[in-house]
């Protein structure tokens, strides 16, 4: 619900050690959460989360246990779904040759693997084609589509294709189905079906779906038609682990059916039935049941690594394989590539930050471009620029006079629409995306003009105001209240991610019992209230910042501390831990 930023800062923190103003629950939220407690008996912190999300007491239980059967939309509510399902089924029955053309990111890999797995379980082997990020770029290209068309009867483009008029026209002799979620143009390519909740003639009600979710809906509809013919299709619920991975990694908002996809997908993943995800969890040393955090920050980056700096199809092959030995080999390769990717990213990030500091960070857009910057890391660097400045950001790598870039947006600013308009105006060779992320290709001598125009378009949306430098807190807790039982209750309100942030709580007037640097610049602390009960905390990457300096040099001073609660698993034991995000002198 809207926050009154003119109200008194929570705990009086106008400017914290990280430069943020603390915003606490409103009086209205207090009233609604109290009513929630009286009606449901839920703990106060959980009631506050639900009240802040606008959940009525009578809907609380359904929200805490989202059921896919209740939230799954009718696949036929999407345009062209009928034609897509009919054509896929007919290709299966006629034993036609099928190719899957996917994007090289996690959503594309998971979408491809979903379709490949479903077809394999129906006794049909399909061809996988993932374009090379550097040599071919994003989406279908004419050469690849023409080649695939010579040897296949049906090409299914997943997580791409909505704007690919020319390449799809080049697939002469083959039918094409597009399953996508990127913003559509005024016209669609001529093919059997374009199933995309973000087509301009769609209502937008399902615009929050990632491409893997669109593929899943197609398979739901195809399975239904199989049942009508007396045949049993593959177990789709067992494939929700891939839908969950794609949803979180593609930063789709965790609302509506997306919550159910991720909640139930995490349960499927915990069974460790999919060789690829099991091997990836093992190389990532994931020693606990998976959570949305692991999908976004441990598994997702590794699946992405092949498309960023290695062989583009590694991620999709890993997710699709049913061979544990192949899965182990692919996971090891992706893990090594991810380590290499981090080193490349750090070099580009430092150069990009230097550029934007020179150019200034007060406008509606920050951007940087550099010769030889690896196209596989510019998206991550754009995200880092956005985080550092609170502005939409674009990072562009130049090679042979052509720039390939990626952008990341802030809440309330539709970057994909602006990039699409630039492409339509001819300032870009091509470009597209969705609200929070977009890609572009531009001639080097037109970068300045394109970025000036993009800044103007984003300024009209209010991007110059930037993201509010505020920390929103769900309430006040005492260290003794941070119990495993409370954390279990809070987890029921998850999964947490885009559109459903994990709750943050403040701990007031705490003593710093212990504070030291651990690992790669992390801050390990122990805090206590007046009753001397301790709560451990960790602040990732904070040791060298102002918060680290203040806490390590506390000299007995007391602090208000803020962050998210979690369980720390170590040597077979689980203890409550505060993931510390901010602090202020008490």
Residues 503-514 have pLDDT tens digits of: 999 999 999 999
Tokens representing 574 are: 């689980």
We report the CATH number of the domain holding residue 369 as 3.10.310.30
Residue-level pLDDT at 406:
96
The answer as to whether 388 is a domain residue is yes
Is the pLDDT reported for residue 359 higher than 80? Answer: yes
Rounded Cα distance between 343 and 354, Å, is: 17
CB neighbour burial string for 157-172, b if at least 16 within 10 angstroms, e if fewer: bbbbbbbbbebbebbe
pLDDT-based confidence at residue 2 (cuts at 50, 70, 90)? very low
Number of other residues whose CB lies within 10 A of the CB of residue 572: 6
The answer as to whether 342 is a domain residue is no
Residues 429-451 have pLDDT tens digits of: 999 888 889 999 999 999 999 99
User: 405 and 278 in one domain?
Assistant: no
User: 271 and 137 in one domain?
Assistant: yes
User: 431 and 325 in one domain?
Assistant: no
Rounded Cα distance between 275 and 490, Å, is: 30
User: 80 and 174 in one domain?
Assistant: yes
Asked if 152 and 124 touch (Cβ cutoff 8 Å), the reply is no
Number of structural domains in the chain: 4
User: 400 and 300 in one domain?
Assistant: no
User: 578 and 521 in one domain?
Assistant: yes
User: 495 and 424 in one domain?
Assistant: no
The answer as to whether 328 is a domain residue is yes
Rounded Cα distance between 4 and 498, Å, is: 22
What value does the mean pLDDT take over residues 229-237? Answer: 97
Residues 143-153 have pLDDT tens digits of: 999 999 999 99
User: 511 and 451 in one domain?
Assistant: no
Tokens representing 509 are: 């007037």
Which of 300, 335, 370 is where one domain is finished? 335
Enumerate residues 6+ apart whose C-beta is below 8 A from 427.
Answer: 442, 446, 449, 450, 453
The answer as to whether 182 is a domain residue is yes
User: 435 and 299 in one domain?
Assistant: no
The answer as to whether 489 is a domain residue is yes
User: 548 and 408 in one domain?
Assistant: no
pLDDT-based confidence at residue 314 (cuts at 50, 70, 90)? very high
We report the CATH number of the domain holding residue 171 as 3.90.1640.30
Which of 446, 465, 484 is where one domain is finished? 465
pLDDT-based confidence at residue 310 (cuts at 50, 70, 90)? confident
Q: Is the dihedral of CA 51, 56, 60, 62 positive or negative?
A: negative
The answer as to whether 340 is a domain residue is no
Host domain of residue 435: 360-465
User: 139 and 40 in one domain?
Assistant: no
We report the CATH number of the domain holding residue 507 as 2.40.50.460
The answer as to whether 425 is a domain residue is yes
Q: Strand 98-102 and strand 154-158: pairing?
A: parallel
Asked if 216 and 241 touch (Cβ cutoff 8 Å), the reply is no
User: 371 and 225 in one domain?
Assistant: no
The answer as to whether 274 is a domain residue is yes
Residues 90-142 have pLDDT tens digits of: 999 999 999 999 999 999 999 999 999 999 999 999 999 999 988 898 899 99
């Amino acid at each position: 619900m809207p926050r009154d930023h003119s109200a008194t800062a929570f705990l009086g923190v106008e400017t914290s050690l990280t430069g943020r103003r603390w915003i606490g629950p409103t009086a209205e939220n207090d009233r609604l959460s109290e009513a929630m407690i009286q009606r449901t008996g839920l703990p106060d912190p959980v009631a506050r989360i639900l009240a802040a999300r606008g959940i009525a007491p009578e809907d609380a239980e359904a929200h805490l246990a989202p059921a896919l059967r209740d939230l799954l939309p009718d696949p036929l509510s999407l345009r062209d779904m009928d034609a897509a399902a009919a054509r896929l089924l007919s290709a299966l029955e006629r034993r036609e040759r099928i190719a899957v053309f996917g994007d090289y990111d996690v959503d594309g890999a998971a979408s491809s693997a979903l379709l490949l797995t479903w077809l394999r379980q129906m006794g049909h082997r399909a061809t996988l084609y993932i374009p090379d990020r550097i040599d071919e770029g994003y989406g279908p290209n004419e050469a690849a589509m023409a080649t695939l068309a010579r040897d296949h009867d049906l090409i299914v483009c997943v997580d791409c294709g909505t704007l690919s008029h020319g390449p799809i026209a080049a697939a002469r002799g083959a039918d094409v189905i597009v399953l996508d979620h990127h913003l559509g143009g005024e016209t669609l390519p001529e093919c059997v079906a374009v199933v995309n909740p973000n087509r301009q003639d769609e209502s937008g009600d399902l615009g929050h779906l990632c491409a893997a979710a669109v593929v899943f809906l197609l398979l739901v509809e195809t399975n239904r038609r199989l049942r009508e013919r007396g045949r049993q299709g593959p177990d789709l619920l067992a494939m929700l682990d891939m839908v969950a991975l794609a949803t979180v990694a593609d930063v789709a908002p965790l609302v509506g059916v997306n919550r159910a996809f991720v909640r139930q997908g995490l349960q499927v993943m915990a069974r460790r039935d999919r060789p690829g995800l099991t091997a990836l969890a093992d190389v990532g040393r994931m020693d606990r049941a998976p959570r949305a955090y692991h999908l976004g920050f441990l598994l997702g980056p590794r699946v992405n690594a092949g498309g960023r700096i290695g062989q583009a199809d590694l991620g999709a092959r890993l997710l699709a394989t049913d061979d544990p030995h192949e899965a182990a080999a692919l996971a090891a390769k992706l893990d090594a590539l991810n380590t290499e990717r981090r080193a490349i990213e750090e070099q580009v990030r430092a150069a990009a930050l230097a550029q934007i500091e020179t150019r200034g960070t007060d406008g509606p857009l920050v951007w940087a471009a550099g010769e030889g910057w690896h196209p596989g890391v510019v998206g991550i660097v754009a995200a880092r620029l956005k985080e550092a400045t609170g502005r939409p950001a674009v990072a562009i790598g130049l090679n042979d006079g052509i720039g390939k870039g990626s952008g990341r947006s802030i809440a309330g600013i539709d970057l994909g629409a602006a990039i699409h308009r630039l492409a339509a105006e001819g300032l870009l060779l091509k470009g597209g995306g969705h609200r929070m992320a977009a890609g572009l290709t531009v001639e080097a001598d037109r970068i300045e003009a394109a970025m000036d125009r993009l800044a103007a378009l984003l300024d009209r949306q209010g991007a110059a105001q930037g993201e509010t430098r505020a920390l929103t807190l769900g309430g006040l807790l005492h260290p003794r209240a941070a119990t495993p039982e409370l954390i279990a209750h809070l987890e029921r309100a998850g999964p947490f991610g885009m559109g459903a942030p994990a709750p943050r709580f403040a701990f007031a007037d705490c003593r710093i019992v212990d504070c030291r640097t651990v690992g790669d610049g992390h801050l390990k602390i122990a805090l206590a209230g007046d009753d001397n009960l301790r709560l451990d905390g960790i602040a990732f990457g904070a040791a060298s910042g102002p918060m680290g300096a203040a806490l390590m040099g506390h000299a007995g001073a007391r602090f208000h501390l803020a962050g998210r609660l979690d369980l720390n698993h170590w040597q077979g034991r689980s203890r409550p831990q505060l993931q510390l995000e901010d602090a202020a002198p008490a």
